Structures are given as C-alpha cells and as structure tokens.
Amino acid sequence: MGLSVAVSALDGTILEQVHDPPNVLHRLLPPGDDRNASVLSKIDWYGDTYFNYLQLPGFLVEWEALSLRATGPEEREFMEAVRALAYRCIDKRYLLRFIGD
C-alpha cells in the first residue's frame, strides 16, 4: 500500500485524508538520498512526515514541479488532491502529514 496524506490538527486529529493505493508517490517522489530535492526527498516511506504552514510554500514549489511528471488522470487527480490539502493547511495553520506504511 502507498502513503496516505492527511490534514492534521496540532493535537494529531486527522481532519481530511487522501490515500495513494496505486503508489503514485513511489513512482514520482525523489529518493531519500537525492540532494537536489530539499523537501520532497525527506518524506519517510515507513514513518510519518509532517510539514507545517511555514514549510508548505517551499513544499508547494517542489510539488508543482513534481506534478508535471504525473502521466494519467488518476495520478493528476491525486497530485491535485494533495495540493489542495497543502493549501488548506496553510490557510488554517494545520499540519500536512504523510503517513507511511
């Protein structure tokens, strides 16, 4: 199973979530040892990774570039859903949480 991406309140409550069962992110995200991707390469496949509202503008710059690599409608829809979650986190000062296996 792929990563899940959630909007999380500061107390850890998950407010909204999208799942990645076809492993879109596994195909698109840079490897952890990629020195060029400052934010996205740090997403942990097996644990949880959090981004706060201060980190999300930089995240979104990289996410937009990554989204250009999405090939099919399912991939593009997932990438757009995560993008929308990130903007919600910025607006409400929530956490964007990548939940690993």
pLDDT in tens, 10-19: 999 999 999 9
pLDDT band at residue 53 using 50, 70 and 90 as cut-offs: very high
Q: Give the pairing of strands 4-8 and 14-19.
A: antiparallel
Residue 50 has pLDDT above 70, yes or no: yes
H helices then E strands: how many in the chain?
Answer: 3, 4
- Entry pTM: 0.92
Residues in the chain: 101
In sequence order, the 6+-apart residues with CB closer than 8 A to the CB of 97 are 5, 6, 7, 8, 14, 48, 49, 50, 51
Q: Give the pLDDT confidence of 64-92 residue by residue, as tens digits.
A: 999 999 999 999 999 999 999 999 999 99
